[in-house]
Homo-oligomer: A and B are copies of this chain.
Amino acid sequence: MQVPEKNANALGNEYRRPKIEQVHTMSKPETRIQQRNRAAILSAGLEIFSQYGLRGSTLDQIAESAGLSKPNLLYYFRSKDAIYTALLERLLDTWLDPLEKMDPNGDPIQEILAYVHRKLAMSKDYPRESRLFANEILQGAPHIADHLSQDLRQLVDEKAVVIKEWEAAGKIAPVDPYHLVFSIWAMTQHYADFDVQVRAVLGETDPFDGAMTYLDTLFRRMLTPKADV
């Protein structure tokens, strides 16, 4: 499966024959070892990539962190890039999930606050994922540009409609729904991505306690419709 690649395909190296990808595509079940090692590699990749970025990370680092040899890594993933890409793709779902969960039929302010809550929890519980993502976007999102203008955009468009409906129903004060979403992303992810800076300023104080309170207050005040309307 992955070995029988017959490197004889000395044709263009444009697109290499995926050794492993076929395991997925061609419906061969993963062995226990494969599962374990792939998981270990992705975990190690997350750790390293989130810290040093794609170009700043080396296969040796990842290999060591995964407890495997470098050639062994490349037995499971065709290249460094493949590990990175696999991570990003897996991450994207996780990333959109909290927004997807926002329920059009729930109480508007509660729904938005719950979304903020979920996002902040992600920053707290998955800071490496957040940083990996941030790094990718910072570099111009070369690996996920499509996803952004497809899936992400579509989802946000969809939720923007919902928010506008809430506004029309007088359930929340008027706001630009897109910038509302941006501000939620910005403020919640800030606590993961800029963690060192936040902690440098706050000292010993834990950022997340105060953050939740603050964000709650912020969005409540901004979104609560004026009483007289």
A176 proximity list for chain B (CB < 8 A): 210, 213-214
Bound complex: CA A213 to CA B140 (Å): 26
Which A1-41 residues have C-beta < 8 A from chain B?
A: 2-3
A68 proximity list for chain B (CB < 8 A): none
Interface string of A169-194 (1 = CB under 8 A from B): 00001011011111101110111011
Is B137's CB under 8 angstroms from A193's CB? yes
The answer, yes or no, to whether A56 is at the interface (CB within 8 Å) is yes
Is B193's CB under 8 angstroms from A134's CB? yes
Bound complex: CA A217 to CA B202 (Å): 27
Bound complex: CA A143 to CA B82 (Å): 30
Is B149's CB under 8 angstroms from A180's CB? no
A53 proximity list for chain B (CB < 8 A): 53, 55-56, 135, 138-139
Of B55, B145, B175, B186, which is within 8 A of A190 by CB? B186
A222 proximity list for chain B (CB < 8 A): 217-218, 221-222
Known contacts A56-B56, A138-B138, A190-B186, A178 near B201 by CB under 8 Å: yes
Is A193's CB under 8 angstroms from B52's CB? no
The answer, yes or no, to whether A54 is at the interface (CB within 8 Å) is yes
A197 proximity list for chain B (CB < 8 A): 137, 141, 148, 152
Leading 8 A-B pairs by shortest Cβ distance: A186-B190, A55-B56, A148-B200, A179-B214, A149-B200, A186-B186, A221-B222, A186-B187
**19 more A-B residue pairs beyond the given contacts A153-B203, A221-B221, with a C-beta to C-beta distance below 8 A:** A52-B139, A53-B53, A54-B56, A55-B55, A134-B138, A134-B194, A141-B196, A145-B200, A148-B196, A148-B197, A152-B200, A157-B201, A173-B221, A178-B201, A178-B202, A180-B214, A182-B187, A182-B191, A182-B211
